[in-house]
């Protein structure tokens, strides 16, 4: 099968959608399919996979409580047309078609079998509000709709008046399970991990810092490993007195080092405050056999099997977070039980399972168009 996948966000900026597109493309290629990914990005970026076609640099646009780097306009439309013509795809799969991006342009231009995956679960959005107006004719062209969670499906139902099949984000379980820890880890004193843009309020770093302030008073060897982008100097300058020595900022890390980091820590913490549609980082931690403490958000609750595969704490409560982290750090047996439960819970999310569900959607979209896949 010849498959075209469109990533709306800049390929050189790590993010959940980019990781999803990359893993899906590589799994499809491993199964013998021909795949091309169109994404914003710089042609000179190092390590660009052969299957990625970059469409030029993106511009920052506020979206879903963050700043997304997207691409839109006449020049971008010409690049989409060229990619579609050269690819001669059996099916085209766009991700996040709501914001002004390559995905939306593809919906406007492409006339063949078209599948879309919706990742965002935020109902209040100026882009989503356009579904009922100018975007509706283009999104009605979709042959198949995928939502990564029931919350994302709800957005489709409410704004598109259409349904979608729920296919969650996948995770390469073996990649995390086999990773070697970072040099010097595991270590005495206890290590907590956090991955994400720590400057974004919805990621909950302020809550975690509050919890760490309480924990560090009696734990001089405690460390928090942080992987992700942000202004490190500004972040350190705003920390409460005495916490700087407890926090290690790794900066933006590679996929390999992310797996190694997750294998290095005692507990992974997700103190997010909202606007989450799934929680793939929790799956990655579980695949690394690292116990998880997360905010009691619906998507996280679902991933953690209602708390059976990880600890859930009230949203925005540093005292409760500190208590839960302390209990786990002090109880190796409990950590091991949670790690084992997490490993069992993550198994259905392995890409070997998820890709088959995605392929069924492709096949239905192609069959509906009366085209025989190559």
Q: What does the chain come to in residues? A: 374
Residue pair 103/94 in contact (Cβ under 8 Å)? The answer is: yes
pLDDT at position 373: 54
pLDDT at position 119: 86
What's the topology of domain 2-170+350-368? Answer: Rossmann fold (3.40.50)
pLDDT digits (tens, 9 = 90+) for 316-350: 999 999 999 999 999 999 999 999 999 999 999 99
pLDDT at position 263: 97
311-313: strand order across its sheet: 247-251, 223-227, 191-195, 267-270, 292-295, 311-313
- Spatial separation of the C-alpha atoms in residues 337 and 340, rounded to whole Å: 5
Residues of the chain with pLDDT under 50: 63-65, 67, 131
Angle CA(285)–CA(316)–CA(244) in degrees, nearest 5? 70
The residues of the chain that CATH labels 3.40.50.2000 are 2-170+350-368, 173-347
Which residues, other chains included, contact 356 with Cβ-Cβ below 8 Å and sequence gap of 6+?
none
Burial class for 35, CB neighbours closer than 10 Å (0-12, 13-18, 19+) = buried
- Spatial separation of the C-alpha atoms in residues 369 and 234, rounded to whole Å: 54
What's the topology of domain 173-347? Answer: Rossmann fold (3.40.50)
Instruction: Output the DSSP codes for 288-310.
Output: TT--EEEE--HHHHHHTGGGTSS
Residue pair 353/249 in contact (Cβ under 8 Å)? The answer is: no
pLDDT at position 55: 86
């Amino acid at each position: 099968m010849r498959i075209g996948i469109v990533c709306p966000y800049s390929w050189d900026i790590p993010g959940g959608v980019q990781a999803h597109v990359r893993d899906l493309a590589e799994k499809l290629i491993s199964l013998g399919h021909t795949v091309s990914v169109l994404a914003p990005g710089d042609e000179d970026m190092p390590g660009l996979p052969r299957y990625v076609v970059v469409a030029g640099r993106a511009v920052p646009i506020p979206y879903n409580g963050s700043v997304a780097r997207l691409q839109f306009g006449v020049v971008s439309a010409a690049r989409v047309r060229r990619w579609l013509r050269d690819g001669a795809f059996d099916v085209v799969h766009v991700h996040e078609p709501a914001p002004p991006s390559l995905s939306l342009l593809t919906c406007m231009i492409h006339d063949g079998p078209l599948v879309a995956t919706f990742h965002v679960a935020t109902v209040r959005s100026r882009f989503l509000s356009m579904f009922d107006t100018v975007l509706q004719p283009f999104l009605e062209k979709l042959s198949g709709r995928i939502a990564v969670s029931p919350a994302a499906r709800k957005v489709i139902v409410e704004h598109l008046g259409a349904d979608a099949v729920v296919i969650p984000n996948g995770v390469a379980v073996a990649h995390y399970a086999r990773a070697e820890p970072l040099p010097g880890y595991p270590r005495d004193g206890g290590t907590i991990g956090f991955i994400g843009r720590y400057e974004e309020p919805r990621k909950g770093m302020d809550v975690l810092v509050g919890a760490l302030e309480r924990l560090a008073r009696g734990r001089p060897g405690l460390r928090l490993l942080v992987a992700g982008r942000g202004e490190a100097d500004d972040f350190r300058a705003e920390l409460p007195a005495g916490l700087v020595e407890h926090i290690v900022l790794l900066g933006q890390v590679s996929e390999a080092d992310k797996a190694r980091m997750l294998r290095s820590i005692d507990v992974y913490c997700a103190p997010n405050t909202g606007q989450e549609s799934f929680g793939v980082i929790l799956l990655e931690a579980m695949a690394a056999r690292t116990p998880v403490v997360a905010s009691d958000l619906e998507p996280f609750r679902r991933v953690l099997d209602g708390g059976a595969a990880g600890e859930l704490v009230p949203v925005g409560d540093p005292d409760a977070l500190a208590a839960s982290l302390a209990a786990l750090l002090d109880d190796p047996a409990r950590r091991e039980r949670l790690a084992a439960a997490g490993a069992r819970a993550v198994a259905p999310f392995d890409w070997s399972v998820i890709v088959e569900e995605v392929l069924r959607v492709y096949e239905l979209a192609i069959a509906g168009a009366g085209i025989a896949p190559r």
